[in-house]
Structure 1
Amino acid sequence: MGRIENIQFDATYYPVAVLSFTFFLYLFKYVSPSLSARLCPRFTQLSDSKQIDWHSRVNSSLHATVVSAFCVYTMLYEKELNEEPIWWDSPMVRTSCAVVVGYMTSDAVLMAIHYKHIGEIFYFFHHGASIYAYYYVMTYGVLPYFANYRLMAEISTPIVNQRWFFDALGYSKTHPVYISSGVLMTVTFFAVRIFTMPTYWHKVYSVYGTEDFLRLGHIQLVLVLTCFVLDLLNLVWFYKMCRGVHKVVVAKFDKNRNITNLKLD
């Protein structure tokens, strides 16, 4: 790995990142508190800690929805991404990455400020790795296919957050809505974050060592090291999800069995 060849610094998309950063801080501080109280009266009964987490997840869900829409559109209409996965300059992908960098930076700031409520070391590693990777795509326009492919993971985020909202609002863990949301969360998370791993790494393998790949210089780390860290974190989170779903399903099964036994008695 050496210097980057024939590539220039480009700050064109930095205003998008700054706007994204500012927008999500404003959403967290002012918009979410007001709308949440109006649309969900039970929100006001939550503890301060859960309200902070709630606003953080509102940010997360909106960010994921916007980025996922960009991602799907690009996959459907920019066929050049697959043909030139390293050097195709895609304004849509670079805009998505700028939004991600701005959001991730704002979320890291909020986690640091409210660390005792929403701070988690895994998320700092995740955000750091994501910012590092998408910074290069936003700035230099490289690796559009790989960046867009990784952004598919955001499709699962609103569903993960919805499950948390149900829990925060006091839904019983054996309630059908709670159980179905947990299963949907786990299946979706697996589909877009775990199942997609082999395809991603096969694509990396297909370009590894090529002339286009070698021109990347140290940005090669984005394809390999950064995404390896992110995949490890996703595997850890998926394991935790599976354990949680298993506990809920077992509790539901035991409850139904106890009710059946009482009726038989």
Structure 2
Amino acid sequence: MKAVPKQITMAMKSYKDQAHMLVKNYLLADPFVPYTSILSGMLASKLVYDLTDLISSFYIKTYPSITKIQRVDWNNRLWHSTTHAIFISTLSLYFVFLSDLFSDPKLLGLIVFRSSTLSTFGLGVSFSWYFFSDLAITLWQYPSLGGIEYVIHHILSGIAVAYSMFTGEAHLYTYMVLISEVTTPEIHLRWYLDTAGMKNSIAYLINGIVIFIGWLIERVLLFGYMFYHVYLHYDQVMKMHTFGYILVFGVRSALGILNMMRFGKIIRGLLKTLAKRGSPTKEVDGEH
């Protein structure tokens, strides 16, 4: 095997160094991170959507026969929600429970003003991948893909995420809220089971129980802990910009109320599913 000429090796090293400098000094430089992350989120969502459509066309027998709006809903759930939920919930769990960014007392600065390149990048990707793009497609197909509750949730969440990303304020509380995306894959699995006609299956029942437990932990108890944390650090929260202060209390309170309303529906749906399995007939179409 012939050795690579020295000139080619040096040229490759030069291109590599230039690419590294481009990423370090521009794409991941602090002033450009929000915009780089937003662009990355858009590209990721487009890639996942196209792959979902392609794979479903080849491997899901019923996919070509369903209506156009059902295909959009199918791809949209996998495109925006499920893949985004896996990405952002993993990142959120890391920052809230594993990273020293918000827990190390030796770090300088108030907790409400602590941020990093990664935390900013993650919020930007989440904003464009899910909240902005999903809201746009929901409004385009309104109300087929979601009602007014869904729209309000996305608008409030998108504003809070974007503000936190651009200002560097309240990253901890934003990621605490985004942990709740852990429940999203289970919610969409329920939709798939429903669409596949498996509402009377044991998988549907187990899915309902998992959603109940996950929602209770991630969207009820964790929200309560977040407000307790805000109470303990209220002196720091008071130092935030007025709009950021309003977002911490107003938007998160509104999301908490929406979560409680949805939790009530989940409880009623689970009780109906359990009642159906305990009755001799299972033909009634229950709420999900």
Q: Normalization by structure 1: what TM-score?
A: 0.85
Aligned to 2:101: 80
Corresponding letter in the other structure for 1:44: P
1:36 aligns with 2:62: no
Q: Which moved more, 1:19-28 or 1:144-153?
A: 19-28
Q: CA–CA distance in 2 between the matches of 1:130 and 1:241?
A: 21
1:136-215 → structure 2 map (5 Å cutoff): 136-171=163-198, 173-208=199-234, 210=235, 213-215=238-240
Per-residue displacement from partner, 1:35-69 (whole Å, max 9, x unpaired)? 12223223333333322211111020000001111
Q: 1:202: Cα distance to partner?
A: 0.7
The secondary structure found in structure 1 opposite 2:57 is helix
Percent pairwise identity: 20
1:89-108 → structure 2 map (5 Å cutoff): 89-102=115-128, 103-108=130-135
Q: 1:10: Cα distance to partner?
A: 4.5
Aligned to 1:21: 42
The secondary structure found in structure 2 opposite 1:117 is coil
Corresponding letter in the other structure for 1:52: V
The alignment of Structure 1 onto Structure 2 pairs a total of residues equal to 246
Per-residue displacement from partner, 1:211-255 (whole Å, max 9, x unpaired)? 563243321011100101111111121111111111111011003
Corresponding letter in the other structure for 1:180: I
Q: 1:132: Cα distance to partner?
A: 0.9
Per-residue displacement from partner, 1:60-109 (whole Å, max 9, x unpaired)? 00000011111122234322313543011222222221112102110011
Corresponding letter in the other structure for 2:45: F
Q: Which moved more, 1:246-255 or 1:41-50?
A: 41-50
Q: CA–CA distance in 2 between the matches of 1:57 and 1:232?
A: 23
Corresponding letter in the other structure for 2:231: Y
Corresponding letter in the other structure for 1:241: I
Q: Verify the 8 A CA contact 2:176 2:226 in the aligned structure 1.
A: yes
Q: 1:25: Cα distance to partner?
A: 4.1
Aligned to 1:261: none
The secondary structure found in structure 2 opposite 1:81 is coil
Which of 1 and 2 has higher RCO (CA within 8 Å, sep 6+)?
A: 1
RMSD: 2.1
Stretches of structure 2 lacking an aligned partner (at least 5 in a row): 1-29, 283-288
Stretches of structure 1 lacking an aligned partner (at least 5 in a row): 1-8, 258-265
Q: CA–CA distance in 2 between the matches of 1:75 and 1:214?
A: 21
Q: CA–CA distance in 1 between the matches of 2:65 and 2:203?
A: 21
Aligned to 1:12: 33
Corresponding letter in the other structure for 1:97: L
Higher CA-based Rg:
2
Q: CA–CA distance in 1 between the matches of 2:172 and 2:143?
A: 37
Q: CA–CA distance in 1 between the matches of 2:97 and 2:194?
A: 35
Q: CA–CA distance in 2 between the matches of 1:211 and 1:111?
A: 37
Aligned to 1:223: 248
1:230-249 → structure 2 map (5 Å cutoff): 230-249=255-274
1:253 aligns with 2:278: yes
> Cα–Cα, structure 1 residues 77 and 211, in superposed 2: closer, same or farther, change >3 Å?
closer
Q: Which moved more, 1:91-100 or 1:104-113?
A: 91-100
Q: Which moved more, 1:140-149 or 1:62-71?
A: 140-149
Corresponding letter in the other structure for 2:178: L
The secondary structure found in structure 2 opposite 1:80 is coil
